[in-house]
Structure 1
């Protein structure tokens, strides 16, 4: 069943994310160092450039690496670092072909617990713990994938009524709230790093 998403903020791109597990995984993979909408609209752009209505893990895994990097680099590029992301996407698809028969949904189908799902996601190329937890939260909150303990496995991203990540985006307003949260968190981290760099203040200093 198709899922209604609002991650790309573009109807056609969001429709693809909702019906294609591989497109959703691809958007999550690319969601770094670029605006969220850019990352999650990329699967639709890639599919169109491949002349497809969907993404196919077998096709991407077997694609000539240089040609695939060129495909993602065409203007407008699908990412700030299209060649690097082309390599990561091919590695992801090769893993899916080898371990899940090319079926992205098989990563979460049949899992018994949130902990098991987190392990499966964390094993994917390009998915560290944070990215795995965010995608787990997205699966639970918007895809109806809710194995026992999924919120705990997703950490803070699994909390209800929060706006921490793409898992909480359901439209323009929530997108703005998530973006505001991320900016505040980034600023707080920068201030903490600056304090650590300069050291504690000295009494009596001017």
Structure 2
């Protein structure tokens, strides 16, 4: 199923055809809007003049990559840290998957193995890894046995908890409402 996030059509098309763009979008999806996170791989490709490979980003001069990330408008609110994080993720992809980002999910025996592989990526804690597993299952057709269980609540059908569930404006609103509710509950628990 083609991506239909609330981002430019070209950015969605890049997510559809380029596994690295998808991995980078998930990597950047913290402390910024999901629209910004999943548009940034497309903007990065525009700035470089081509769609980069994991090998290219892994080998990129670190300071030069920061400058690409920081150029206005910055690709993330923390361009230095996130340029380094994307580069770290690309190095893992090069070292473990011969530079192929789809190697993260290709040939996994089951959902538990897929979750383990995603958890090995720099910056991917349990929640982010489960969201990625859910995104792969719900949007990309990567559904090894047990993927829903590995994704936890994010794998539930119709849960509207994360980017994995966004297919149109209505689902985006539902996901935002869920996140707002979770923040309110966390604040109430913390304060009470």
Shared fold per TM-score greater than 0.5: yes
How many Å separate the matches in 1 of 2:9 and 2:35? 12
The Cα offsets for residues 28-53 of structure 1, whole Å up to 9 and x where unpaired, read as: 0110111111100000001111110x
The equivalent residue for 1:24 is 22
Contact 2:6 2:169 in 1 (8 A): no
| Pairs within 5 Å for 1:175-194 | 175-194=172-191
Q: 1:117 aligns with which of 114, 129, 133?
A: 114
Contact 2:6 2:168 in 1 (8 A): no
The Cα offsets for residues 124-183 of structure 1, whole Å up to 9 and x where unpaired, read as: 111111111000000001111100010001000000011000000001111111111111
The equivalent residue for 1:133 is 130
Contact 1:43 1:55 in 2 (8 A): no
How many Å separate the matches in 1 of 2:98 and 2:116? 18
Q: 1:89 aligns with which of 79, 86, 90?
A: 86
TM-score using structure 2 length = 0.98
Contact 1:115 1:150 in 2 (8 A): yes
The equivalent residue for 1:33 is 31
Contact 1:47 1:55 in 2 (8 A): yes
What number of residue pairs does the alignment pair up?
192
Contact 2:111 2:148 in 1 (8 A): yes
Contact 1:8 1:38 in 2 (8 A): no
CA apart distance, 1:78? 0.7
Q: Which has the larger radius of gyration?
A: 1
CA apart distance, 1:7? 2.5
Q: Is 1:43 the equivalent of 2:48?
A: no
TM-score using structure 1 length = 0.91
Shift of the 130–112 alpha-carbon distance from structure 1 to 2, 3 Å rule, reads same
Name structure 1 gaps, 5 residues minimum: 196-206
CA apart distance, 1:8? 4.7
Q: 1:158 aligns with which of 142, 155, 159?
A: 155
Q: Is 1:142 the equivalent of 2:122?
A: no
The Cα offsets for residues 17-74 of structure 1, whole Å up to 9 and x where unpaired, read as: 111111001000110111111100000001111110x231011001110110010000
How many Å separate the matches in 1 of 2:130 and 2:147? 9
